[in-house]
Amino acid sequence: MAPPSSTISHCIRTRVYFIFDGGRHGRLRLIHLPQRASQSPALATAFLQSLLQLVSHIGLSYANNIVIKRTGDETWSYENVRQVLDLLEDAEVTLNLKPTWCGTTGVPVLSTLWSAGGIRPADERIADILALPTPSILSNLRSAAAMVR
């Protein structure tokens, strides 16, 4: 249980974080931790990842986000979403659905773009490579290959 605010020194700035309490499915609880304490967000992330292992073929998490893959037609997509939401509800996880994206392709995740076709680096990460001239003769190709090595 989170310590009451009266036991926390007034000179230490605190933030409310979720923390993971082990167990079969585990539970998240609120706790006050000193600012800059990085363990609680990491524990919440670990909780989501362990929970979503049951539906790893359709759902995965990164940081505090959940991605649900589309595995078939529209009916299957609704079933996939329902399956993940039911799992989260059973674990008593509360979601903030305001920033939800549905039917989006090219979703930016950690400087990569996720879509149905796969994962590729974002254009700004490879802008220098894209700006290189395309070799037209063999000597230019050898020079380009030497630069890469």
Confidence at residue 134, expressed as pLDDT on a 0 to 100 scale: 80
Residue 66, sorted as left (phi over 0), alpha (psi -120 to 50) or beta, turns out to be beta
Per-residue pLDDT of the chain (149 residues; tens, 9 = 90+): 444 443 333 334 445 555 555 545 555 555 555 444 455 566 677 777 788 888 877 777 765 677 777 666 766 677 888 888 888 888 887 777 666 666 677 777 777 887 767 788 888 888 888 887 787 888 888 887 787 76
Beta strand 118-121 pairing with 112-115: antiparallel
Q: What are the structure tokens assigned to 146, written together? A: 């030497």
Residue 121, sorted as left (phi over 0), alpha (psi -120 to 50) or beta, turns out to be beta
**Residue 50 in contact with residue 26, Cβ under 8 Å?**
yes
- Which of 63, 116, 48, 55 has its CA nearest to residue 80? 55
Confidence at residue 31, expressed as pLDDT on a 0 to 100 scale: 53
Q: In whole angstroms, what is the distance from residue 24 CA to residue 47 CA? A: 11
* Main-chain phi, psi angles of 131, to 5 degrees: -80, -15
Confidence at residue 54, expressed as pLDDT on a 0 to 100 scale: 82
